Amino acid sequence: MGRFDRQTVLITGAAGGFGSAAARRFAAEGARLVLSDIHAERLDAFAKTLDAETATLAGDIADEALSGDLVKLAADRFGRLDVAVNNAGIVHDAARLPQTPSDVARKVIEVDLLGVFYALKHQLPQMERQFRETGRGGQIVNIASVAGIAGAPKLAVYAAAKHGVVGFTRSAAAEYATRGVRVNAVCPSFARTEMALAALRGAPDQPAAEAEMTRGVPMKRLAEADEIVEVILFAADPKNSFMTGQALAADGGITAI
């Protein structure tokens, strides 16, 4: 029996990066999955590879209706929502703050910050209702970034959005601490996911670009997706029942110096 046997786990941004790696690990631990991604065909193809009861709903997390529909899908299909991993996000091209286009800034805020707000707005009442009815609420894990707990030169809007995610995490954790819901954030540095690899592929000298990307990381390397997923599962584990409101840095030592 796995740690999440028969628990319903909702993951956004599930077709790639941390989302797909997390979905595979939760499935291996016995979870039932509700998966979402903006790329419908990729999401459906990925879901078919999983050995788990799975429901999918594609859409843009910047649309509040999607968050409500995902919670309803979890409740209708599986009877409850035990874990939510709010992972969907985007990043803008590196540029000094004045050179960041305003329309790009608005989109990053809509996806990375308001997307988490919409998710929490719908997930928290469902989990609180479960707690009142059954004594079991739920766990929420927001995927922030090391840029959410430190500055990120040339990624100012992304950093601002991720700081906001940490703020939502801490505030929601305090509001729901006696209502059966734990809320934590995971704050990774650059990892070997498509988001980082796409940036490296666009560089004329990829080894030099990767060295620059990891220059401030004491471990001097990118994280592997599975290393970040380990932290996500730790935060979501129902046995980890006294930790809430935390921003867990998985950053190769960046915030240690």
Backbone dihedral angles phi then psi of residue 199, each to the nearest 5 degrees = -65, -40
Which residue numbers in the chain have pLDDT < 70? none
176 catalytic per annotation:
no
30: left (phi over 0), alpha (psi -120 to 50) or beta: left
Q: What's the confidence (pLDDT) of residue 241?
A: 97
4, 26, 118, 158: the catalytic one is 158
Distance (Å, whole) CA 63 – CA 69: 11
pLDDT, tens digit, 9 for 90 and up, residues 141-179: 999 999 999 999 999 999 999 999 999 999 999 999 999
Q: Helix-strand-coil percent breakdown of the chain, rounded to 5?
A: 50, 15, 40
Q: What's the confidence (pLDDT) of residue 250?
A: 98
